[in-house]
Amino acid sequence: QVQLVESGGGLVQAGGSLRLSCAASGRTFRVYTMGWFRQAPGKEREFVAAITWTGSNTYVADSVKGRFTISRDNAKNTVYLQMNSLKPEDTAVYYCSFKSGDIQYDIRNAYPYWGPGTQVTVSS
């Protein structure tokens, strides 16, 4: 099994920045992907960003492109999400996720492992 724990969420004003971290523990795989999804009240959980552990390919959703950056620390099995120029519509619970392989990186149901989530609130 893989266990994930997010940290770094909080309350910020519009235009501010936050850096989320997610550390994976337990069994990992030779080829895998870690990603970030978010869920706002009354909405479906949506893809935000993902990164693979082979070619270090990164992917970001159009809604956050140019503002959010995903990165990794291989030695710590940790993924980061740097969020800049935050907007009120970014307010959501942000979930870290893990899957084997490097395909279906933006498919919610392809990820079997999830962290408990961390709240990000952006005030106007």
pLDDT at 2 over 90: yes
Output phi, psi for 90, to 5 deg.
Answer: -80, -10
Exposure class string for 76-91: b at 16+ Cβ within 10 A, else e: ebbbbbebeebeeebb
Q: What are 76-115's pLDDT values in tens digits?
A: 889 999 999 999 999 999 999 999 999 999 999 999 999 9
pLDDT at 10 over 80: yes
If we measure between CA atoms, which residue out of 13, 19, 16, 8 comes closest to residue 85? 16
Q: Do 38 and 50 contact (CB within 8 A), yes or no?
A: no
Q: Output the pLDDT for position 57.
A: 93
- Counting Cα atoms < 13 Å in the Cβ hemisphere of 4 gives 26
Q: Do 82 and 17 contact (CB within 8 A), yes or no?
A: yes
Q: What are 35-84's pLDDT values in tens digits?
A: 999 999 999 999 999 999 877 899 999 999 999 999 999 888 899 999 99
Q: pLDDT grade, residue 119 (50/70/90)?
A: very high
Q: Output the pLDDT for position 74.
A: 84
Output phi, psi for 105, to 5 deg.
Answer: -70, -20
Please give the span between the terminal C-alpha atoms of the chain, in angstroms, as a whole number: 40
Q: pLDDT grade, residue 5 (50/70/90)?
A: very high
Q: Output the pLDDT for position 56.
A: 80
